[in-house]
Chain A
Amino acid sequence: DGGITQSPKYLFRKEGQNVTLSCEQNLNHDAMYWYRQDPGQGLRLIYYSQIVNDFQKGDIAEGYSVSREKKESFPLTVTSAQKNPTAFYLCATRQGGPGAYNEQFFGPGTRLTVL
């Protein structure tokens, strides 16, 4: 089946630990995105990548890091520098490279809780 896979669905981590959230897609989409959602808030952009081996900071990149070594994969690492990492994290993809304005498609999300 074509789609976007995020794993794990629920993730718990202790303060001070880094954790990596997985996002995989088989839609052959060029662009991939990471968003953070907090209760009562809209989605805020963390990082995005419009082509392989390139990525850009979004509005709230501090304390996060990403890589885009393959078209299919865009993992997000939440580092210990992120002051308030407990949130719902959503990965999205979009067909077309820079300058395209197609709709984004979203994965099922990962709920991260810091204990």
Chain B
Amino acid sequence: AQKVTQAQTEISVVEKEDVTLDCVYETRDTTYYLFWYKQPPSGELVFLIRRNSFDEQNEISGRYSWNFQKSTSSFNFTITASQVVDSAVYFCALSGRSGYSTLTFGKGTMLLVSP
């Protein structure tokens, strides 16, 4: 079975602080994909990144960066110099053959950035 754990239920930071959202996953698949989504207060999920299990290179996109470590089954997400607009719920998700390419979501981390 596939499982995604986001242990941080809620994080509060002040604008311009860096913040890291943790994601730990479990899967029997050797090939799998990991995703991060953002859910702003409007409710619609916004896709941020997809990473396959063979690519452990870290990725940076503007203020966002992702650290994928197969050795610890983790796919952490860091926001540098956070802004109020980053306030949202962030979900980590996993897809693999054993799940018939459906997504298994973590419970999400609510990030609150105050001015």
User: Which residues from chain A sit less than 8 Å from chain B, CB to CB?
Assistant: 31, 33, 40-45, 48, 50, 56, 58, 88, 90, 92, 98-109, 111
Q: How far is the CA of A40 from the CA of B110 in the complex (A)?
A: 9
- Contact in complex: A101, B101 (CB < 8 Å): yes
Chain A residues whose C-beta falls within 8 Å of the C-beta of B102 in the assembled complex = 33, 45, 48, 58
Q: How far is the CA of A42 from the CA of B96 in the complex (A)?
A: 18
- Contact in complex: A43, B100 (CB < 8 Å): no
User: Which residues from chain B sit less than 8 Å from chain A, CB to CB?
Assistant: 4, 6, 9, 32-33, 35, 37, 42-47, 50, 52, 91, 95-97, 100-103, 105-108
Residue of B4, B45, B107 ringed by the most chain A CB atoms within 10 A: B45
**A88 touching B43 in the complex, CB below 8 Å, given contacts A40-B107, A41-B107:** yes
- Contact in complex: A101, B45 (CB < 8 Å): no
- Contact in complex: B105, A43 (CB < 8 Å): yes
- Contact in complex: A42, B47 (CB < 8 Å): no
Find the B residue at minimum CB distance from A102: B50
Chain B residues whose C-beta falls within 8 Å of the C-beta of A98 in the assembled complex = 100-101
